Chains A and B, each alone.
Chain A
Amino acid sequence: MATLVVHEQNPSPVEDAEILRKACKGWGTDEKTIISVLGHRNAYQRKLIRQAYEELFQEDFIKQLESELSGEFEKAVYRWILDPADRDAVLANVALKSTTPDFRLLIEIACVHSPDELLAVKRAYFSRYKRSLEEDVASQTRGDLRKLLFALTSTYKYDGKEINKNLAALEAQVLHELIKEEAFSHEEVIRILGTRSKAQLVATFNCFKDQQNISITKSVVGDPDDAFLEALRVATRCIYAPQKYFAKVLRNAINKLGTDEEALTRVIVTRAEKDLKDIKQLYYKRTSVSLDHAVANDTSGNYQALLLTLLGSEDH
């Protein structure tokens, strides 16, 4: 369930645009207003506000925000205000361009999204970068990691519920054999993960658990610095239990010395309209601390205020 709180009665996009305009112009910037408006609007409403702002003031609202805000708060607002597909395209490009690319995002996009959502991200990527996402994934990666990432991002999986139980049992066995021999990057592993539908893979992973008494996500063991193994683990988690995966990302982001704001922002902004509530419950179950409290302790200022608003915290 989503955590985003959208009130029943809202001002119209035009009114919102005017309120936001006032918040940006004049002395300093009224960040509280920005948070209280944008933090309570869904993707469609945010899009209408951007359009209204452009029509009324002949200015790009996003550029306006970029010039008025700064730091982690600005990054969070920028990500929040973009269309979900556009946002993912931007994040993917950032991930691919960086010297130490964080592939988790690419795997999240490929494995947690529905096939049509992944497609929307690819289209947004075309528009922005005049290249395909797959081209860039393929040219910026090498070897086994490339095989896995390319397979995961280029596919257009069947998204229905039909599964073949015999096939699931068979492929669970295949995966077990290969994992036993530590042949993690074997073609068959990549083929199965990269082409079978989500429903089919969940069935396969269930068979794996029944056959081996251990979840497949825990079976991929090895050198913690091995980027390919890490990617494989992330992929299996995102496919099998995405909310648990996100809860873990949040735990790591908060527990880390200092805070991994990149990851914190990413998870909260991308899941607030989807399943952040379920993620919060899993987080609490694991740490006995509510995510709201943990975020409040670990962050401050406007950045904290925005995150808490998106988390659905009552007093925001």
Chain B
Amino acid sequence: MALPEEVNALSKSFSGFGVDEKTIITILGKWQPEEWKSFRKGCPFVFTEDDRLFEKWNDEHIDLLEREFSRFKNAVMLWTMHPWERDARLAKEALIKQNRSYNVLIEIACTRSSEELLGARKAYHSVYDHSIEEDVASHIQDSNRNLFVALVSAYRYEGPKVNDEITKSEAKILSNAFKNADKKNPVEDEEVVRILSTRSKPHLQAIYKHYKEICKQTLDEDLEDGSSLKAVVMCLCSPLAYFSKVLNDALKSGVDEKTKVALTRVVVTRAESDMKEIKEEYNKEHGVFLSQKIKETTQGNYKDFLLTLIERGA
């Protein structure tokens, strides 16, 4: 008979987030056939008994385990690639996967600097023999297309100079567009697309400020939750808050794979830029240290790798 605490430890190490390699090795390695039997009986989410009274490994769990074992490998591969190639591959994946991840595209187009985005576009040429604009334009057929093509094509001015008159008038343009959202979807509004995809980030942050003064609400508060425009505005004007939210969602229990995979993505892609500030924002918003939450939620080599990455340059 297997000890109940060993069964528990083992089933935990097989349940994700990541896999607890050490536990698997120490416990599994020494078990005898009777211990195996009680494990199979005691873990219904891993093994199911069919009408022939044969306990076989659940197919869904096999998929889950494959994903969980790959997490560390994926994190390492993503980390080792050139940052530009990272973004290029993430963008491609976001376009072709069954459940499209517009958010990843928005993240890449809006939180990277102009040179980083340009580099990602160059890398995309090298890896896929197409431009990212081509693929975005031909894969996205809905009303978001114009906005997305414009966002990935952006090569924004990076200097600090901002024209106050223009930011005020453009804040008004945005507010009108959002107020008339029921008549015309703002994401299809030419002016909205123009402003969000061509203006420099300091310019957009000034618009954010003026918008609050005019409308008493902030830009993102006036937008629908989960809409692409809201994500765009958050990424452009308050990326730290955006990343902190994405991380928090990824670390919640019972979330789907799409949400979970963001943990690897955000940690790997921000470890060399603004991880320190993201950690501070996370702590401010959620009252707990990011490293603490990662320790509690993830396991094994995957956990150790993530913790090492977020401690860089701390």
Interface residues of A (CB under 8 A from B): 119, 122, 126, 130-132, 134-135, 138-139, 143, 146-147, 150-151, 154-160, 162, 187, 191, 194-197
Q: A132-B198, A156-B155 are in contact. Are A195 and B118 (CB under 8 A)?
A: no
Instruction: Tell me if B121 is interfacial: C-beta within 8 Å of chain A.
Output: yes
- We find that the number of chain B residues with CB closer than 8 angstroms to chain A is 30
**Minimum C-beta distance from A152 to chain B (A):** 10
Docked-complex contact A146 and B131, CB < 8 angstroms = no
Docked-complex contact A126 and B159, CB < 8 angstroms = yes
B131 contact from A132, A151, A158, Cβ within 8 A: A158
Task: Show 5 residue pairs from A and B whose CB-CB distance is below 8 angstroms, ordered by the A residue.
Answer: A122-B155, A131-B200, A134-B198, A135-B199, A143-B190
Docked-complex contact B118 and A139, CB < 8 angstroms = no
A160 contact from B129, B134, B155, Cβ within 8 A: B129
Question: In the complex, which residues of chain A have a beta carbon less than 8 angstroms from the beta carbon of B121?
Answer: 156
Question: In the complex, which residues of chain A have a beta carbon less than 8 angstroms from the beta carbon of B194?
Answer: 138-139, 146, 150
Instruction: Report B132-159 CB contacts with A as 1/0, cut-off 8 Å.
Output: 0110111000000110011001111111
Cα(A60)–Cα(B232), bound, Å = 44
**Minimum C-beta distance from A140 to chain B (A):** 11
Docked-complex contact A134 and B149, CB < 8 angstroms = no
**Minimum C-beta distance from A256 to chain B (A):** 35
B155 contact from A132, A162, A196, Cβ within 8 A: A132
Q: A191-B137, A194-B133 are in contact. Are A158 and B125 (CB under 8 A)?
A: yes
CB-CB nearest in chain B for A141 = B194
Docked-complex contact B131 and A197, CB < 8 angstroms = yes
Docked-complex contact B157 and A157, CB < 8 angstroms = no
Docked-complex contact B145 and A187, CB < 8 angstroms = yes
Docked-complex contact A135 and B198, CB < 8 angstroms = yes
Docked-complex contact A119 and B118, CB < 8 angstroms = yes
Given A126-B158, A132-B155, A156-B133, 16 more pairs with CB closer than 8 A? A119-B155, A130-B157, A130-B161, A134-B154, A138-B198, A139-B194, A139-B198, A154-B153, A155-B133, A157-B133, A160-B129, A187-B146, A191-B137, A191-B145, A194-B137, A197-B130
Docked-complex contact B131 and A195, CB < 8 angstroms = yes
Cα(A143)–Cα(B190), bound, Å = 8
Cα(A134)–Cα(B145), bound, Å = 18
Q: A130-B161, A134-B154 are in contact. Are A158 and B129 (CB under 8 A)?
A: yes
Docked-complex contact A195 and B149, CB < 8 angstroms = yes
Question: In the complex, which residues of chain B have a beta carbon less than 8 angstroms from the beta carbon of A131?
Answer: 157, 200
Interface-centre pick from A134, A139, A197 (highest chain B CB count, 10 A): A134
**Minimum C-beta distance from B307 to chain A (A):** 37
Cα(A290)–Cα(B134), bound, Å = 41
CB-CB nearest in chain B for A127 = B159
Instruction: Report B286-300 CB contacts with A as 1/0, cut-off 8 Å.
Output: 000000000000000
Cα(A126)–Cα(B155), bound, Å = 10
Docked-complex contact A158 and B198, CB < 8 angstroms = no
Interface-centre pick from A131, A150, A154, A156 (highest chain B CB count, 10 A): A156
Docked-complex contact B159 and A130, CB < 8 angstroms = yes
